[in-house]
Amino acid sequence: MDLLASNHTGRELSLMLAGRKPLAMFFAEISELPNEVLVPERAFAEHIESGRFVRGEITLESGYSTTLGRNAHIRYVFYALSSEAWRIAAMSLLRESFAKSKCPWNESLERIEGTLLGYTDEEITARCIAMGLLRSEPTHGSR
């Protein structure tokens, strides 16, 4: 699997317009915004206005940044096909829950996020392998 070729980054809008991506997520530290490269608000605006897409956002506090001299505040901006608007609430819940947890990012979280963003199972598995998130032994059904 060529992860670079399957990556949606930079192609979110065209994939959504083609109906091949149900949800796009952009994020940046609030001090970096507005920034059309990091969060392309203008590119998506006409599709929000037409009702083709819906938009949501959350801002979450992150760890301390020595550069900023404070905890970072990350703004997540979501765009979904109107028929897939539920994905914004689901991704917000995922991001909010992870921000409150003491657990590292893991395969399960990556699979949920990837699925919400419209990646295939094969693409998600390849990304999990590349990130070193796959366990060597399956754990389903065991406690």
- Which percentage of the chain shows pLDDT scores above 90? 85
Cβ contact 103:80 at 8 Å: no
DSSP 7-62: --TT-HHHHHHTTS-SEEEEEEEGGG-S-TTTS-HHHHHHHHHTTSEEEEEEEEEE
Specify the pTM.
0.89
* Close Cβ partners of 30 (under 8 Å, ≥ 6 residues apart): 59, 73, 74, 75
pLDDT tens digits for range 115-129: 999 999 999 999 999
Confidence bin at 8 (pLDDT 50/70/90)? confident
